[in-house]
Amino acid sequence: MLEQILTLLPQVIFDGFVLGFVYAMVALGYTMVYGVLELINFAHSEIFMIGAVVGVEVFRYLAPSVGNGFLLLLLALVLGGVIAGLTAILVERFAYRPLRKRGTTNRLVPLITAIGVSFILQDLVRLIEGLWHNEFFLRMRTVEGLESSFSLFGGSVFIQTKSLILIGVSILMLVGLTYLVNRTKLGVAIRAVAQDLQTASLMGIDPDRIISRTFLIGGSLGGVAGVLFALQYTTVSPYVGFLPGIKAFTAAVLGGIGNIPGAMLGGLVLGQLENFFGTYLPILTNGNFGTEYKDVVAFLILILILLFRPQGLLGQIVREKV
Partner 1 sequence: MRKVGLLVAGAAALGMALGQANVIKIATQSPLSGPQAALGEQIKLGAELAVEEAKARFKALGFDLVLVPYDDQANPDVGVANANRIINDPDILGVVGHLNSGVAIPSSEVYARVGLVMVSPANTNPRVTDRRLPNVNRICGRDDVQGPVGAEYAFNNLKVRNVFVIHDKTAYGQGLAEEFKKRFEALGGKAVAFVGTEEQSNFVPIINQIRGARPVPQLIYFGGIYSQIGPFVKQLRERGVRIRLMGGDGLDSSEFVRLAGKDNAAGTFYTTVAGPVSAFPKAKAVAQKFKQKYGKDMEGFGIYAYDSANVILTALENAIKAAGGKKPTREQVAQEVRKVKMEGLTGAIEFDDKGDNKKAKYFVMQVASTGNWADNKLIRVIEMAAPGAK
CB 31 within 8 A of CB 263: yes
CA torsion 249-251-252-255 (nearest 10°) is 160
Interaction residues for partner 1, span 78-107 (CB under 8 A): none
Q: Which C-beta is closer to partner 1: that of 22 or that of 58?
A: 22
Residues 227-246 vs partner 1: string with x where CB under 8 A? --x---xxxxx--x------
- Tell me the closest approach of the beta carbon of residue 14 to partner 1, in angstroms: 10
Residue 142 has what DSSP assignment?
P
Q: Does 261 bind partner 1 (CB under 8 A)?
A: no
Residues 6-35 vs partner 1: string with x where CB under 8 A? -xx--xx--x--xx----------------
- Tell me the closest approach of the beta carbon of residue 50 to partner 1, in angstroms: 16
CA distance 28 to 248: 8
Nearest of 307, 283, 232 to residue 52 by alpha carbon: 232
Give CA 8 to chain center in angstroms: 27
Q: Does 279 bind partner 1 (CB under 8 A)?
A: yes
Interaction residues for partner 1, span 283-312 (CB under 8 A): 283, 287, 290-292, 294
Q: Which C-beta is closer to partner 1: that of 214 or that of 279?
A: 279
- Tell me the closest approach of the beta carbon of residue 7 to partner 1, in angstroms: 6
- Tell me the closest approach of the beta carbon of residue 75 to partner 1, in angstroms: 22
Share of the chain residues as helix, strand and coil, in percent rounded to the nearest 5: 75, 5, 20
CA distance 113 to 304: 30
Interaction residues for partner 1, span 135-164 (CB under 8 A): 136-137, 139, 142, 147, 149, 158, 160
Q: How are beta strands 138-139 and 149-152 bridged, if at all?
A: unpaired
- Tell me the closest approach of the beta carbon of residue 252 to partner 1, in angstroms: 20
Size of the site for partner 1 (CB under 8 A): 35
User: Which SS3 state, helix, strand or coil, does residue 320 take?
Assistant: coil
Q: Which C-beta is closer to partner 1: that of 296 or that of 317?
A: 296
User: Which SS3 state, helix, strand or coil, does residue 139 take?
Assistant: strand
CB 29 within 8 A of CB 244: no
237 Ramachandran zone, left/alpha/beta (phi>0; psi -120 to 50): beta
- Tell me the closest approach of the beta carbon of residue 60 to partner 1, in angstroms: 12
List strand residue ranges (DSSP E) for the chain, in order: 138-139, 149-152, 157-160, 235-236
Q: Which C-beta is closer to partner 1: that of 12 or that of 32?
A: 12
Q: Which residues bind partner 1 (CB under 8 A)?
A: 4, 7-8, 11-12, 15, 18-19, 130, 136-137, 139, 142, 147, 149, 158, 160, 229, 233-237, 240, 274-275, 278-279, 282-283, 287, 290-292, 294
